[in-house]
Structures are given as structure tokens and as C-alpha cells.
Chains A and B, each alone.
Chain A
Amino acid sequence: MSNKKDILYSLQRNISERYDMPDIDLLEGIVYPDPLEKFIEVSKAVGGDALVLKPEEDINEFIKTHYPEAKTIASNLREIEVATFNPDEVEDPHSLNGTDLAIVQGEIGVAENGCVWIPQNVKHKGIYFIAEYLVIVLDKTKVVNNMHEAYRQINFGEKGFGVFISGPSKTADIEQALVVGAHGAKGVTVILK
């Protein structure tokens, strides 16, 4: 088997001219007059939904009315009283199969593409993907304009996994017809508070 030394040597041998690294900070990313509004608009455009919870609205009531059919509801967030179980208490991620709805915490919203950054903040990352529907709770003051701003702020946490999620899982592999709900969530709602 080859080793690192052989391969790095073969690269060195073939590099003749070395190019400089450009200054990324010179690139000006798009800035929106109202990033929150743009974030909501794009979240809808990518097949998801995003809305600002009014001060008088209760998040648990909201979830109950929007997901009346959800029976197994996973969340490790203290405020989510409608949760039927805490996914962090599940030993084996395979047992998460069959979850109707998961409610998780997001950290950063990105206006330009509707992405929400979620550093792994649950025991098994599988819960982000295996639940039939996903609700992401996000602080509405944490919406940035573009990915450059987002990458300046992201943190990873202990688990060593993080994901940007933009809308529900989708595919167009059959005749380019868009179908929502390929392997992951069939619907994603971002609740901004």
C-alpha cells in the first residue's frame, strides 16, 4: 500500500509553479435590506417554511395545531412540552426510526439560501434526518446575510458534526419532477423567536 510520503512526494515532484492565495475578505457578499424577511422568503422558495412566532403565541400550541397528526414527537429542548420523548435518552439511533416529528435547536440562519446551521446538539445526529417532519427553533436575531458571514460565526461543539439544512429533503431523479421527502424530512418549518 502507498503511504503519505510517497503521495506527497509525487505531488511535490509535479508542482512547478505555486500560485498565491487570494484575500477572501476582499469579496463582498450580498447584503439584504432585511435579512430576516429574505430568509423567510427563501425558506419558502426551497420548499420549507419559516415564520416569526408572535410574543403572545405559544410554541407548544403552535406545534400542536400545525402537526395534529404527529404521535411520536422527539425533542431535547426544555420548552417543548409536546415532545413524547427525549431522543438523548435513546441508546441506539436505529430506535429513532418511526419518529413523526423532531424539534431541534438551530444556531444561525442564512438569508441568501435559507440554510440553518445546526452543530450537533443531540446525542444521535440521526434525529435531524430520520424524523418525518422537522421543526427548527431559531433566534430571529441570528440571521446573517450570506455564507461568508455564517462561516465566520459557526461553532462545532464536542460531537464533531454540523449541518446546514435548507428546506426539506428532496429529489428530482425521476424525470426531473421535484418530489419532496426523499430520505430525510418531508417538511421543515423554522420557528423564529
Chain B
Amino acid sequence: MSTKHTKAAERFLSDKQQETWHNETLWFVREKRDRMAFSLPEWEDLREMANKIKMHTITHLDKYLDQFSEKAEANGVIVHWAKDAAEHNQIVLDILHGLNAKKMVKSKSMLTEECHLNDFLISHGIDVIESDLGERILQLKGEMPSHIVLPAIHLKRQQVGELFEDKLHTEKGNSDPTYLTRAARQHLRNEFLTADVGMTGCNFGVAETGDVVVCTNEGNADMGTSMPKVHIVSMGLEKIVPTVQSLGVFTRLLARSATGQPSTTYTSHFRKPVDGGQMHYIIVDNGRSDILGNKEHIQTLKCIRCGACMNTCPVYRRSGGFSYTYFIPGPIGINLGMLRHPKEYSDNVSACSLCYSCNNVCPVKIDLADQIYRWRQNLDSYGKADPLKKTMSAGLKFLFERPGLYNFALKFAPLVNHMPHFMVYNGLNEWGKGRELPRFAKESFTSMWKSGKVKPKK
């Protein structure tokens, strides 16, 4: 049985050139991240500190959110609370209606994707403009992001060129990235200047000061909140950090982990509304408090949405973001999807080779692969276990429990190396699709050990 992920991955893999480019480009981002990590002797201490601060914060969210909202209100911010996506969207609409606002310019926010805010507002006659270049490209194209930090990573420049030709009337056949970016700059500059309201997400909310911190490279969050007089911040309730001092730990990790930059270009700290304007925070639960009560998956609440787990994931790199059925792909998306709706999103749990690379790069040390493993163990309870894999695992269990037979089977495993290709990669072997089998060693470790071929290190 193929999952939706394997089927979608097959489509992605059918464009070999694109797949290779995708794989290599993301690996390059991963390498940039490594260079940044290795340039700091304290990198691992930073990750551990970030992990501990987040564990502390999420298990004291009641206290910190109280403090955060009180500080914010004292700073003149209007604070709203939403238990789910519907409430969140309604609050935004009510604010816009109250101001008689027609156009809202947005900077990138995964939470508003989670809430399907744009469709809701557009259906109520609001002009919603995404201002992050990648997001704007996707909005014009009518597509979803395929990566949380590099939303348009699945598109080639020619596709963007053709899109802009059609929508922004750029020169025919010109797909030079600088030319296209300049065209978008001009187009969006006009949107910033004519918007009534600016909306941003939130990377961090600081409990002790009530500040909201937004990190971008383009400066779109800043343009969007400098021209309109009203700023709406949409934030998941897990975005809190306790103090300004702890903020430093996360701003040091975020860009280095995300894109291999020492910092994003802009790290903007918002505390008060602009003179004569308004600032609104919408603090959203939408399932997060339930995750807090789920011991096996509580760590997902530490996520700072850097995307490093996607860039490093061999399955993500080779199958692309659209092969996952949840809107957040990659290791973190597999887990968040399962937490949202296990039955609906269980296809994604197969998109993991349990290589654990994600655990090793995650700046806040989320046990991503362990969680995926646990979901798989429980697949039966969603009636979603793969019958083929079940047979295979049952067979393995049978072997593992019988050491004599296991050793016997292993002895003959190298024969697979000489089997004709069609026998190994037949229809029954799901792994053979898109994967080459590893070569079995001529001799197993156990038999080498027994015959004294393995020399213990002195």
C-alpha cells in the first residue's frame, strides 16, 4: 500500500532535474547552517539553553501569558484571545470592520496559514496582500508554501518570470532574479503605501516587557507596519520567552539554523502602537493547550519555525513540501499534522527514514524523530498501519526473537547483491521505489567477530 506521501513523492521525483536541484539546494542551506554552528564554540550550549528556556516557558505559560498581556496592555496594546482558528479570523475581521479598512498587507505568518485567514478575509471583501516575496509569488500563483522559511523553493525562476509577465507586466522572457525582485519591490511598495492595516506574525513575545519581535530579511514586516497606522500581530501562544535576556539565546539560533546567516537583516522589537495608531495582539490557542497535556509530544511546542529540520531531512529534500498532506512539511510538520488530526494526516509518518538528522540540527532540541517513531507504533489504533510493512515487521520480529534463524538469514543476505534487479525491485518491494537497496556486506559483523577479524581498539 502506498501512502499519499509516497504517491506524491513519485510525482516530484519524475522531474529528475528539479528533484536534484531541490535536494542539492537545501543541502547547501544545511551546510551554511553547519558553518554558522561551527563558528561558535558555545553552539551546543546555546541549543541546550534554548531547550531549557522553552521547556520552562511552555510549562509556565499560564503565568507568562498573564504577565505578557498585562505588560502589553500597559503599553497601550489591545490584546485579544482566540481559542481556535474561527475565533482568530473573526477577531481580525472585526478589527478591520471597526476601522472600515479595505486593504491589509501581511508579512509571513504560518499561524495565519494554519487558520486559513486569507481565504476568510477575501470572502468578506478584504483585499489581503502577502508581502514576503516568496509568499506573494505563491499568492499570485494560487499555491501554498512548500517550506516554512523558503516558501517558493519548489519554483524555478522561469515559472516566476512567466507569472510576473502575466500579473505584473514584466518583460517577456526575462526571468533574471534581480529584475523580478525589483519588479516585486515596486509593486509591493505601492501596496504598502495604500494599505489600511499591516499584519505580522510573531517570532517571539517577551513576557517581562510585552514586546513582540519579528525577524525578516526583506524588511516587509517593517514596511507593512510603518506606513499603515494599525498593526495586528497574530501569535501562537507558545511564542513567549520570559525575558529580554533570554531573547538573545533565540535570536542567535534562529537565522543561523534557518538559512545559515548570522542574523536576519531585521530583528524588529515592537512595544507600543505608533503615534495616533493602534496595535492589536491576537493570542491563539487552536489546539496548543492540548499539546501541553500530551507528554509524548509536548516538545513540539518549543519549535521556533526555523525550517532546519526540513533542510536536513533526506526525505523532504527528495520529495518536496507538497508531498506531505499537512501544510507544514518535514519532520516538524509530520508531528504537528498528527497532533492536529491523526487519521487525516497519518500518511506523512512514513516520510521519515529515522536517520535522526532532524534531532541533531533542531536548535531547541525537539525529539522529532522519536515522536515520529512513536506515531508509527500507534498507527494501528488509527487503522492506518501499512499491511505490507506490518508483514515485513512481523517477519523481522520473528527473526529477531530467534537468534539462530536470524544468523542463518543474514548469512544468505549477500545473495541479494547478486539477485537480478527485477527480483529485488519488484512490485512487492515498496522500498525499492525511489531507493536503492543498501549492499549487504559479504560477511556479517557477528561472523567477523567470531572469526577474530574484528580487532578491538587498544
Residues in A lying within 8 Å of B, measured CB to CB: 1-4, 6-8, 10-22, 24, 27-30, 42, 45-46, 93-94, 97, 110, 112-115, 124-126, 128-130, 146-148, 150-152, 154, 156, 159-177, 179, 181-185
Contact = CB atoms under 8 A, between A and B. Distances in A.
- For the complex of A and B, list the 4 residue pairs with the smallest distance between their C-beta atoms, beginning with the closest: A160-B272, A184-B219, A14-B293, A126-B226
B437 to A, nearest CB: 32
Looking at chain A's contact residues, is the secondary structure mostly helix, strand, loop, or mixed?
Answer: loop
A50 to B, nearest CB: 14
B280 to A, nearest CB: 13
Given A11-B62, A20-B56, A176-B25, 5 more contacts: A7-B285, A93-B227, A151-B244, A161-B269, A181-B182
A19 B52 CA distance: 8
B74 to A, nearest CB: 11
A173 B293 contact: no
Interface residues of B, number: 97
A126 to B, nearest CB: 3
Interface stretch (B1-9, B110-118, B127-135, B371-379): B127-135
A15 B83 contact: no
A2 B181 contact: no
A42 B263 CA distance: 10
Contacts of B364: none
A109 to B, nearest CB: 12
A129 B193 CA distance: 13
B150 A176 contact: yes
Contacts of B152: 173-174
Contact of B272 (A3, A29, A128, A159): A159
B266 interface: yes
A163 B81 contact: no
A6 B81 contact: yes
Given A19-B52, A19-B56, A129-B223, A46 B261 contact: yes
A174 B295 CA distance: 40
Contacts of A28: 42, 45
Of the candidates A4, A7, A29, A130, the one having the most CB atoms from chain B within 10 angstroms of its own CB is A7
A128 B61 CA distance: 34
Interface string B254-295: 010001011111111111111100000001010001101101
A10 B160 CA distance: 45
Contact of B188 (A97, A165, A173, A183): A183
A18 B81 contact: no
Interface string B18-30: 0000000100110
Contact of B157 (A112, A151, A174): A174
B310 interface: no
Given A163-B267, A183-B188, A174 B160 contact: yes
A160 B217 contact: no
A1 B87 contact: yes
Given A27-B49, A130-B223, A182 B271 contact: no
A183 B267 contact: no
B289 A184 contact: no
B363 interface: no
A146 to B, nearest CB: 7
Contact of B265 (A14, A20, A179, A184): A184
Contacts of A163: 222, 266-269
B227 A183 contact: no
B31 interface: no
B81 A129 contact: no
B245 interface: yes
B233 to A, nearest CB: 13
